Amino acid sequence: MKNRILEAAENRFFQYGYRKATMDEVASDLGISKKTLYIHFKSKDAVAIAVIRALHKDIDKLLKQFSIKIPDPVERLGMMITEVSARLTRIGTLFLADIKKDIPALWRECEDFREKKIFEYGEAILKEGIRKGKVKKDIDTKIAMLVFLGAIHAVIQPEVFVKNPFSIDEAYKNILNIFLKGIQK
């Protein structure tokens, strides 16, 4: 039951932001009462914290699997787009902006996860690529990671696909291609 609550809350929080999503709506989505909801969670804040921790745990698991199952650093970068960054993008800027004000500790936790896990994981992939002769030696891996994550964040959003005639798979391919090879002729 807790997982069902987290999933419903995640959907609401990520689509509308933390503030505009109400506990009445989460309960209604599940066909349960707020009484039942508050049996499982102490507060709305507690729900948000649990939602984010579950997502981070899920991503952490994925990253570990990639390290084991995918030896090629370039392929691992590709998986980072499709499996990891796409998940993080779902959180949405609304949710993050709201919890920055309402639950700053959770916001810092998200920033830390992004900084420590995703960013450093990606940076390690780039460094491994340099060692294996697949990435140029003079690339600043920190800047490259910012470029990479910024590109993903800008493109992988629902509204972009309604306005542009490419599919999400095409978007993934193009982002990776541009990042890896640049656009110069």
Partner DNA sequence: AACTACAAATACTTAATTAGTTTCCATGAG
Partner DNA sequence: CTCATGGAAACTAATTAAGTATTTGTAGTT
Q: What share of the chain is helix, strand, coil (3-state, %, to 5)?
A: 80, 0, 20
Residue window 48-87: x/- pattern of binding to a copy of itself, with contact defined by CB under 8 A = --------------------------------------x-
35 binds DNA (CB under 7 A): yes
Q: Does 24 bind a copy of itself (CB under 8 A)?
A: no
Q: Does 168 bind a copy of itself (CB under 8 A)?
A: yes
Q: Are the C-beta atoms of 77 and 130 separated by less than 8 Å?
A: no
Q: H/E element holding 168?
A: helix 168-181
Enumerate long-range contacts of 61-68, CB under 8 Å, 24 or more apart. 63/117, 63/121
By C-beta, is 110 or 156 nearer to a copy of itself? 156
Interface pick for a copy of itself out of 162, 181, 182, 185 (rule CB under 8 A): 162
Site for DNA in 38-97 (CB under 7 A): 38-39, 43-45
Q: Which residue from 24, 58, 140, 170 is in contact with DNA, where contact means CB under 7 A?
A: 24
- 151/93 Cα distance (integer angstroms): 15
Min dist. Cβ of residue 102 to DNA (A): 8
Assess 3 for contact with DNA (CB under 7 A): no
Close Cβ partners of 167 (under 8 Å, ≥ 6 residues apart) = 161
* Total site size for DNA, rule CB under 7 A: 17
Q: Which of 117, 131, 129 is nearest to 179 (CA)?
A: 129
23 is an interface residue for DNA by CB under 7 A: yes
Q: Is 155 in the site for a copy of itself (CB under 8 A)?
A: no
**59 CA to centre of own chain:** 8
Q: In the complex, which residues of this chain contact a copy of itself (CB under 8 A)?
A: 16, 20, 86, 156-159, 161-170
